[in-house]
Structure 1
Amino acid sequence: MTDDLFGAPATTQPLAASLRPSTAIEVVGQTHLLANGKPLARCLNGEALHSMILWGPPGVGKTTLAQLLCDASGSRMLKLSAVMDGVKAIREAVAVGEAERAGGRQCVLFVDEVHRFNKSQQDAFLPFVENGTLTLIGATTENPAFELNSALLSRARVYRLHSLSTAELASILQRGESEVSLSLTDTQRERIALAADGDARRALNLLELAGSLSADDGNLDETSFEEVMRGSPRRFDKNGDNFYDQVSALHKAVRGSSPDAALYWYCRMLDGGCDPLYLARRVIRMASEDIGNADPRALSLSLDAWQTLERLGSPEGELALAQAITYLASVPKSNAVYTAFKAAQRAVSEGGSEEVPIHLRNAPTSLAKSEGHGADYRYAHDETDAFAAGESYFPESLHGSRFYEPTDRGLEARIKARLHDLRIRDRLASRRRYP
């Protein structure tokens, strides 16, 4: 028995709902969890049901698996939506769970989009999961390690569900074609499967639309088919894991000097609806973090691309950003500035509030001058090559520290050679107070 305590049943069912598997053998995909001997297969075959988090993208069977697991265990299933329900609904579910437990029956609480529950809401059902009043099955598209509190995670196993393959989606479409009196060609079926982007629900929604546009003979002409396919972007959650995974892929392709892959991920994100101005900000970060002084033009070009994008807007300005991305991916790389910056930050955070050496202090008043501020300071421009060999600009406790170590790539190789020469001159002319 399944109870939706907090919502009324729908009067009509979409195709995705009517084709929802009613037995484990009908489930497509997720063989890493459902093959013989795998964790969820054991539960479906009679092993005691335990609390779990089903983590995966939309349309891969999280709700279906929760229902099948509940049916296999003979449990009563209560459903909550973390989007719609709060602590009051959780308390009502707990009351039902306590009554079922008193009657000797297990009660499963299925929480859709469990990541949307805040900490206090998660804490509300945590004791009842712990004492066995409720067996929790949570479904989430987001990384549980980031979205769920550690106490809840320690009491539930996390199972990762994968996107469905094109072949798996095609098999689901074949199953649904008779339901909408439609006969797709192999090419049409494959294109719908590709457009569904791993999501069975999306595939069946497209199939249902196709059925409504088909001719009386069950065929779909190319004009109608293109109408179905129009406006089917790839999966892209602007706030979720998929967003940050694609940003990561773009950044790593640039860092790895692969302009082709970088352009692919850039176009994927644009296609999914990502704000190009957000990408422009990320590209500027890449220019400093991964190219730095190996080619300082990278930062200038990235800033120019951002400005061009702001002035022209989309789609015209997106080409300038593509130019910057391909340039960044193609030039020599260096993270020496990034590494030096982090090292200097650590030195500051781990050290005390060091005094500015007296010879480096400002002397705007006669009092400051009388106290020796600026005394013995050597004006670099008055020295040979505008370099005061042996002068120190650190607090005494940090004298000789090194943060910036240029690489042998691009312009930074020349910077490295110059700094090497200057450091030798420093050592030879070091002041006696820094032996």
Structure 2
Amino acid sequence: MDSYIPLAERVRPKNLDEFVGQKHLVGQNGILRKLIQSDQLVSMILWGPPGVGKTSLARIIATETNSHFVSLSAVTTGLDQVRKIIKEARERINKSEQLSLRSTSTRQPDNQKTSRTILFVDEIHRFNKAQQDAFLPSVEDGTITLIGATTENPSFEVIGPLLSRCRVFVLNQLEKEELDIICDRGLKELKKTISKDAKDFLLNSANGDSRNVLNILEIADRLLPAKKQIDLKVIQNALQRESLYYDLLGEEHYNTISAFIKSMRASNVDAALYYLARMVEAGEDPLFIARRMVVFSSEDIGMAQPTALVVANEVFRACETIGFPECRENLAVGVVYLCKSPKNRSAYNAYMAALADVKQFGNLPIPLVIRNAPTKLMKDLNYGKGYDSYTKESLLPDKLKGKKYYK
């Protein structure tokens, strides 16, 4: 029967000691380990790339704290299901309180589940604002302990009110040594060995994703079930092709987006389209690409062609509405438009120059003539005195009087 269960599920860690990686969170001095051991859980967002243990960690937290565990995927879950789970969690608390009143002298078994409900939401960034809003009251009053998992920056993808009620924990891409441990567990489960060159190739191709390692091992096992040792050729066949190396949080991610932006800045249409294709093919979020195009339209095109911002915003909106893969065409058209537009960084440069003065001089006194004067006292102090709506005089603080940022 186990053969029908994915290998990644069969070797999933069941406690903190079996968990591999994320020592800063679950090591002996890790903050999450301390919260679990002291039973001081908080709602949280687990942010990190795929295959680093977000789901496993959520399950372990529930097990270690004897909590009821409910798992949802934001891709397939609607508001009705969320409300139903919250209602059941509230009923569980009420029932526990009633039982406690009836039998205050009866000692509960150590392994009995608490009334706490841990609601794990995978890919929480895929919930829209209304869906995320639904969590707020129950997270606020403790009806549920929310654990959201996301591969996207929660600052952009999780609404502010919910983010302020959760602690964000960053999970790092797994190191090769950590993937090695997980690989060995998978091989033991499959009752297989692997050649050194095959293992090196597998671990280097996994992009720090433990699920990739286990999935490829499982495919390799099914390709040649009778073979006891997995060799390089089998691993290469299991991979089908060497994956594009594109770590969404690593150097190559930033190298590629940098090349993309610089190609548009140089009006090099062909290069910009090539780097766009690389990002899309490697699985980059289209909204991330479109967001960079919106920034580029103001930063690099600016006043030379202000309608570029309108076009870039419409590309972003199209990616939101249509989604992958069709939005590739919207991105491509937008890239060509931005490449062929005239460039002017004067507004951006002016802002950066002003920002430099703010950082250097701090909050310099605002001239009295343009201060707000809603009270008699302020008027008596000459706030707003002599204000001319269309004055040609410099309105900068005295220390910066006459300075020109926009040129």
In 2, the alpha carbon distance for the partners of 1:174 and 1:43 equals: 30
Residue in 2 that maps onto 1:213: 223
The verdict on how the C-alpha distance between 1:52 and 1:397 changes in structure 2, with shifts beyond 3 A counting, is: same
**Within 2, Cα distance between the matches of 1:183 and 1:253?**
46
Question: Contact conserved, 1:113 with 1:141, CA < 8 A, in 2?
Answer: yes
Name 1:97's counterpart in structure 2: 89
Q: Report % sequence identity.
A: 38
The alpha-carbon deviation at position 179 of structure 1 amounts to 1.9
Aligned counterpart in structure 1 of residue 199 of structure 2, from 189, 207, 213: 189
Alignment partner of 1:82 is 2:74? yes
Contact 1:166–1:190 (Cα < 8 Å) also in 2: no
- Counterpart residue type for residue 149 of structure 1: I
> In structure 2, how many angstroms separate the alpha carbons of the residues matched to 1:225 and 1:37?
37
Hey, what's the Cα distance between the residues in 1 that align with 2:76 and 2:66? 27
Partner of 2:32: 40
- Distance in structure 2 (CA, Å) of the matches to 1:267 and 1:117: 27
Question: How far apart are the structure 2 equivalents of 1:180 and 1:190?
Answer: 19
- Deviation by residue 1:292-319 (Cα, 9 ceiling, x = unmatched): xxxxxxxxxxxxxxxxxxxxxxxxxxxx
User: Is it true that 1:250 corresponds to 2:263 in the alignment?
Assistant: no
1:213 shift after superposition: 2.5
Aligned residues: 295
- The correspondence of residues 48-63 of structure 1 with structure 2, limited to 5 A, is 48-63=40-55
- Change in Cα spacing, 1:116 to 1:217, as seen in structure 2 (3 Å) is closer
d(CA) in 2 for partners of 1:346, 1:132: 47
Deviation at 1:289, TM superposition (A): 6.9
- Cα pair distance change 1:45/1:267, threshold 3 Å: same
The answer as to whether partners of 1:79 and 1:111 remain within 8 angstroms in 2 is yes
Cα drift, residue 339 of structure 1: 3.6
Deviations 1:242-261 (A, max 9, x none): 89745444368989xxxxxx
Q: Is the contact between residue 233 and residue 271 of structure 1 (CA under 8 Å) also seen in structure 2?
A: no
Aligned to 1:143: 153
Matched with 2:357 is none
Provide the C-alpha distance between the structure 1 equivalents of 2:159 and 2:27, rounded to a whole number of angstroms. Answer: 30
Determine helix, strand or coil for the equivalent of 2:177. helix
- 8 A Cα contact 1:337 1:404, kept in partner: no
Which structure carries more relative contact order (alpha carbon 8 Å, separation 6+)? 2
Question: How far apart, in 1, do the equivalents of 2:3 and 2:227 lie?
Answer: 29
User: Helix, strand or coil for the counterpart of 2:86?
Assistant: helix
Structure 2 unmatched ranges of 5 or more: 98-114, 265-271, 302-342, 355-389, 395-401
Q: Which of 6, 17, 24 is the aligned partner of 2:16?
A: 24
Q: Is the 8 A contact 1:94 1:133 kept in 2?
A: yes
Give the secondary-structure state (helix, strand or coil) at the position aligned to 2:230. coil
Distance 1:215 1:117, change over 3 A: closer
Q: CA 1:233/1:162 → structure 2, altered by over 3 Å: closer, same or farther?
A: same
CA 1:236–1:99 in structure 2 vs 1: closer, same or farther (change >3 Å)? farther
Q: Normalised by the size of structure 2, how large is the TM-score?
A: 0.61
Take 1:17 and 1:138, find their aligned partners in 2: how far apart are those partners?
A: 20
Q: Equivalents in 2 of 1:74, 1:118: separation in Å?
A: 31
Q: Is the 8 A contact 1:143 1:241 kept in 2?
A: no
1:215 & 1:154 partners in 2: Cα distance? 50
SS in 2 for 1:60: coil
Larger radius of gyration: 1
List gaps (5 residues or longer) in structure 1. 1-9, 256-261, 292-335, 348-394, 406-435
Q: What letter is aligned with 1:205?
A: N
Give the superposition deviation at 1:182. 1.9
The 3 A distance-change label for structure 1 pair 122 and 217 is closer
Deviation per CA, 1:115-146, whole angstroms, max 9, x where unpaired? 11111111112101111111111111111111
CA distance in 2, matches of 1:270, 1:114: 22
Change (3 A) 1:268 1:42: farther
CA 1:241/1:119 → structure 2, altered by over 3 Å: closer, same or farther? farther
> Could you tell me how far 1:84 is from its partner in structure 2?
0.8
Task: Name the aligned partner's letter for residue 19 of structure 1.
Answer: V
Secondary structure of the structure 2 residue equivalent to 1:25: coil
